[in-house]
């Protein structure tokens, strides 16, 4: 039987005539996906029943499949999808493909699943499930990229590994898009989901008869999980197709959509309203108070508290920038234990706060925004009631329980449901006490930015079961309530950079992303909106000449990050004199050009080559790190360069951004050892 062809907006798809399995998917005549043997299903339903039987259903299980051509695209319909042996189903599946207005070769995909079974619940579904991704003509140059923290990439088809994670989970997929590039073209794959329904985003290499291909898909959870007969109507579009260009163009495509979302562009009404550079903290120290004795402050970062405080003040004077301390172990209870009972605080903490804040250094204590210790004396029936519930994969499960997490200290903590007023009130009260009783000018709310939309199946919480928009809504309400209580001035930060946190937090913590594969996707999407701080510059980073410190801070500086966290007191050691000078240089560069980094646009990165022909493509090792930012108050832009070596460097910089190239296609710049500088264009 000849395949059936559908076409919309330059996308052509060949489908098996009987099952509508995808045989080939092309854009503008270029084939990206191919499944020559009978095709592959564009979706997979995962359904379970009350006895714990689990089935996966694909298009081959349908009674009837048809293509309906519509004025605004194409509709693919499968009716009577069932697992006959298990008796699962029937389900009716409809997929709508429509053009994206004004964007040739981009298409919007939606799925509806009608569950007509009486005793099976739809647990999750893979959609779009695109099998058979092929390498480009030069596989060594193929690039896969995804939004892990700053952004990450793998170059080379054979080197690509599975990239799989929850959207919003532990920095893995801070945003809802990824892409695959070759030959100056990119396959763009994104969920334009303003409600942040819980989902995973997956790229997976597949080997079949020595032929290597890859699959790419979203895994989404429907509402009504655990309820037999739950249907699913996708509330958002999955946008996919070909775009000219590379990762930067894909980031800008996503930016066009995401920058209009309230969680990126509308901070809470009681948040700070001035310019970001009037407020930005540039250097983030990490302070760890002694664990024992548990009732009073003796040391910070293993120095006597008074000595460490003196060093902080010295550092602040030398650096001349806004500085904060992200403070751990300020409470008497051990770390990750008895949360959320952070009070009473260690004796002497309040005085330490007052002392440093008088010197202009913000103190920002750690609390966790989502965990309650299962063994805390305060964990009562009310706490249990408002914890996130999970359950076995079953319809009408007999048990819904709070799954405890452990962080290596033998304690068990449970995630609280952000959709509940009860938990939000608890966190707001804590924030209020930290600001009003302790006088702190900042609060770090751990894990809110690394634990994007969760599935909770407790019907007593009043939200939809499993899938839904309730996590985002609850989270944003929480942040708005915190601002209502503490006002615009205290700084708020969280762990990692779930994109839904961009408008609410002053900065988002990057804990450990120091990879050669880093790619500046975050600033290319959220410039002028979100800020990342971090870098992990603790004791070891200053050893062996401090190369690690130099590289990590250099990368953050040019990409618009705030510097830290770490133990910056190491800079005051006599042997680290040149590291201190280097760091003062970075701080000065950032301060003198704050408007570029805080409100400017992150332009397409330039190409930098040293005089001996070395291409500066490493985001950490350079030898010269670079970025191009536009001037938000004028027409110009500025090139920022950091020499991360202890040798002189002379580089030729070629602008690949059209606006910058029109002003100055290329410049030659000399840099002294460890020098950082701006070149106005």
> Among residue numbers 487 through 546, which ones bind Zn ion (CB under 5 A)?
none
Q: Give the binding range for Zn ion (CB under 5 A) out of 364-372, 460-468, 573-581, 593-601.
A: 460-468
H helices of 320-436, where?
349-358, 381-385, 421-436
* Least Cβ distance, residue 462 to Zn ion (angstroms): 8
Which range, of 262-270, 355-363, 458-466, 636-644, touches Zn ion by CB under 5 A? Answer: 458-466
Smallest separation, CB 389 to Zn ion (Å): 7
In the complex, what is the shortest distance from the CB of residue 127 to Zn ion, in angstroms, rounded to a whole number? 24
CB 456 within 8 A of CB 472: no
C-beta of 461 vs 556, nearer to Zn ion: 461
Give the start-end residues of each E strand in 259-396: 283-288, 299-300, 303-304, 323-328, 361-368, 371-373, 390-391
Pick the closer one to Zn ion by CB: 419 or 589: 419
CB of 346 to Zn ion, least distance (A): 34
- Which residue of 461, 476, 529, 604 would you call a contact of Zn ion, by CB under 5 A? 461
| Residue (153 or 464) nearer to Zn ion, CB | 464
Sole window of 371-379, 391-399, 423-431, 448-456 interacting with Zn ion (rule: CB under 5 A): 448-456
Nearer to Zn ion, 82 or 388 (CB): 388
Q: What torsion, rounded to 10 degrees, do the Cα atoms 560, 564, 570, 571 define?
A: 20
Q: How far is the CB of 424 from Zn ion (least distance, A)?
A: 12
Tokens coding 484 = 């209502």
Could you tell me whether strands 211-220 and 199-208 are parallel, antiparallel, or unpaired per DSSP bridges? antiparallel
3-class DSSP assignment, residue 387: strand
Site string for Zn ion, 101-120 (x = CB under 5 A): --------------------
By CB under 5 A, the count of residues binding Zn ion is: 5
Q: Is 661 helix (H, G, I), strand (E, B) or coil?
A: helix
Listed residue (481, 492, 476) closest to 443, CA to CA? 492
Nearer to Zn ion, 47 or 225 (CB): 225
Q: Where are the beta strands (DSSP E) in 106-196?
A: 106-115, 120-133, 143-146, 152-155, 163-166, 177-182, 185-192
| Cα distances (Å, whole numbers) of residue 154 to 103, 159, 517 | 27, 7, 7
> Residue 668 CB, nearest distance to Zn ion (Å)?
59
**Nearer residue to Zn ion within complex by CB, 462 or 673:** 462
Smallest separation (angstroms) from Zn ion to the CB of 403: 13
| Sheet bearing 413-415, strands edge to edge | 371-373, 413-415, 404-405
In the complex, the smallest distance separating the C-beta of residue 407 from Zn ion, rounded to whole angstroms, is: 22
Least distance from Zn ion to the Cβ atom of residue 397, Å: 15
Site residues (CB under 5 A) for Zn ion, limited to 381-440? 417, 419
Minimum Å gap between C-beta 388 and Zn ion is 6
Residue 418: closest CA among 357, 480, 361, 360: 480
14-51 burial: b if 16+ Cβ within 10 Å, else e: bbbeebbbbbbbbbeeeebbbbeeebbbbbbbbbbbee
> In terms of CB distance, is 462 or 543 closer to Zn ion?
462
Closer residue to Zn ion (CB): 370 or 593: 370
The nearer residue to Zn ion, 414 or 637, going by C-beta atoms, is 414
Task: Give the count of beta carbons closer than 10 Å to the beta carbon of residue 89.
Answer: 22
Q: State the Cα–Cα distance between residues 335 and 291, nearest whole angstrom.
A: 8
**For Zn ion, the closer CB: 112 or 473:** 473
Residue 214 half-sphere exposure, CB side, CA atoms within 13 Å?
26
Applying CB under 5 A, which part among 128-136, 219-227, 297-305, 454-462 lies near Zn ion? 454-462
- What is the C-alpha to C-alpha distance for residues 92 and 116, in angstroms, rounded to an integer? 8
Query: Could you give the 3-state DSSP secondary structure of residue 426?
Result: helix
Instruction: Pick between residue 460 and residue 573 the one whose CB is nearest to Zn ion.
Output: 460
Place of tokens 């290329």: 666
- The 10 Å Cβ neighbour count of residue 674 is 21
Among residues 175 and 416, whose Cβ is nearest to Zn ion?
A: 416
Min separation Cβ 180 and Zn ion, Å:
36
**472 is a site residue for Zn ion (CB under 5 A):** no
CB of 447 to Zn ion, least distance (A): 16
Adjacent-strand bridge partners of 381: none
Which of 334-342, 457-465, 521-529, 619-627 is the region at the interface with Zn ion (rule: CB under 5 A)? 457-465
Nearer to Zn ion, 349 or 372 (CB): 372
Q: Choose among 619, 610, 680: nearest CA to 647.
A: 610
Q: For residues 520 and 479, what is the distance between their CA atoms, to the nearest angstrom?
A: 27
Residues 161/206, Cβ–Cβ less than 8 Å: no
Q: Which residues of 203-239 are buried (b: 16+ CB within 10 A; e: fewer)?
A: bbbeeeeeeebbbbbbbbbbbbbbbbebebebebbbb
Supply the minimum distance, in Å, between the C-beta of residue 326 and Zn ion. Answer: 29
Q: How far is the CB of 152 from Zn ion (least distance, A)?
A: 32
The CA-atom distances, in angstroms, between 430 and each of 152, 368, 436, 438, 494 are 36, 10, 10, 11, 15
Nearer to Zn ion, 417 or 509 (CB): 417
Query: How far apart are CB 257 and Zn ion at their closest, in Å?
Result: 28
Residue closer to Zn ion, measured from CB, 384 or 547:
384
User: Which backbone phi and psi does 110 adopt, to 5 degrees?
Assistant: -135, 150
Residue from 97, 129, 456, 508 in contact with Zn ion (CB under 5 A)? 456
C-alpha–C-alpha distance, residues 93 and 75, integer Å: 10
Stretch that binds Zn ion, among 66-74, 240-248, 461-469, 525-533 (CB under 5 A): 461-469
- Residues in the site for Zn ion, rule: CB under 5 A? 417, 419, 456, 458, 461
């Amino acid at each position: 039987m000849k395949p059936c062809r559908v076409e919309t907006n330059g996308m052509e798809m060949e489908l098996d005539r009987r099952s509508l399995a995808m045989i080939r998917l092309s854009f503008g005549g270029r084939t990206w996906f191919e499944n020559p043997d009978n095709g592959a299903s564009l979706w997979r339903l995962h359904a379970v029943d009350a006895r714990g039987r689990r089935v996966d259903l694909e298009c081959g299980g349908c009674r009837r499949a048809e293509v309906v051509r519509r004025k605004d695209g194409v509709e693919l319909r499968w009716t009577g999808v069932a697992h006959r042996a298990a008796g699962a189903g029937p389900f009716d599946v409809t997929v709508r493909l429509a053009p994206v207005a004004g964007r040739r070769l981009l298409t919007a995909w939606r799925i509806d699943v009608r569950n007509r079974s009486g005793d099976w619940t739809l647990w999750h579904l893979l959609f779009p499930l695109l099998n058979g991704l092929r390498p480009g003509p030069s596989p060594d140059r193929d690039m896969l990229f995804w939004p892990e923290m700053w952004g990450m990439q793998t170059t080379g088809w054979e080197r690509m590994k599975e990239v799989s994670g929850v959207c919003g989970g532990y920095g893995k997929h801070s945003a809802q898009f990824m892409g695959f590039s070759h030959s100056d073209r990119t396959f763009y794959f994104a969920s334009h989901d303003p409600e942040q329904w819980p989902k995973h985003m997956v790229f997976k290499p597949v080997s079949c008869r020595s032929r290597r291909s890859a699959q790419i898909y979203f895994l989404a959870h429907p509402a009504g999980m655990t309820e037999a007969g739950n249907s699913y109507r996708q509330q958002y579009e999955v946008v996919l197709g070909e775009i000219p260009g590379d990762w930067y163009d894909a980031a800008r495509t996503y930016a066009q959509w995401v920058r209009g979302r309230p969680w990126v562009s509308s901070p809470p009404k009681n948040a700070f309203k001035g310019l970001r550079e009037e407020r930005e903290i540039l250097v983030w120290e990490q302070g760890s108070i002694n664990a024992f004795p548990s009732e009073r402050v003796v040391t910070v970062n293993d120095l006597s508290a008074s000595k460490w405080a003196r060093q902080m003040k010295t550092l602040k004077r030398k650096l001349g920038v806004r500085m904060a301390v992200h403070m751990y172990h300020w409470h008497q209870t051990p770390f990750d234990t008895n949360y959320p009972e952070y009070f009473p605080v260690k004796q002497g903490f309040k005085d330490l706060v007052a002392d440093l804040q008088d010197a202009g250094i913000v103190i920002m204590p750690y609390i966790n925004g989502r965990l309650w210790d299962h063994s805390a004396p305060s964990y009562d029936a009310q706490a249990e009631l408002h914890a996130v519930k999970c359950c076995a994969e079953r319809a009408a499960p007999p048990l819904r329980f709070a799954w405890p997490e452990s962080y290596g200290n033998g304690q068990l903590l449970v995630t609280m449901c952000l959709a509940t007023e009860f938990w939000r009130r608890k966190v707001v009260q804590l924030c209020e006490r930290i600001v009003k009783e302790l006088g702190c000018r900042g609060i770090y709310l751990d894990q809110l930015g690394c634990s994007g939309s969760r599935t909770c199946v407790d019907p007593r919480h009043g939200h939809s079961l499993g899938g839904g928009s309730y996590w985002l809504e609850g989270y944003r309400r929480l942040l708005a309530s915190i601002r209502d209580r503490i006002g615009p001035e205290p700084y708020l930060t969280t762990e990692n950079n779930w994109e839904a946190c961009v408008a609410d937090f002053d900065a988002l913590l990057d804990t450990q992303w120091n990879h050669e594969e880093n790619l500046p996707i975050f600033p290319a999407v959220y410039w002028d909106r979100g800020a990342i701080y971090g870098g992990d510059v603790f004791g070891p980073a200053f050893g062996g000449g401090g190369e690690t410190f130099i590289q990590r801070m250099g990368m953050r500086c040019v990409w618009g990050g705030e510097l830290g966290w770490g133990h910056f007191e190491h800079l005051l050691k006599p042997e680290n004199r040149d590291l201190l000078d280097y760091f003062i240089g970075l701080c000065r560069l950032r301060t003198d050009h704050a408007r570029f980094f805080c409100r400017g646009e992150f332009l397409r990165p330039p190409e930098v080559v040293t005089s001996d022909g070395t291409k500066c493509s490493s985001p950490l090792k350079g030898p010269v790190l670079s970025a191009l930012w536009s001037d938000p108050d004028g027409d110009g832009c500025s090139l920022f360069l950091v020499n991360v070596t202890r040798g002189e460097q002379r580089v030729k910089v070629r602008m690949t951004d059209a606006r910058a190239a029109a002003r100055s296609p290329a410049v030659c710049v000399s840099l002294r050892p460890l020098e950082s500088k701006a070149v106005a264009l």
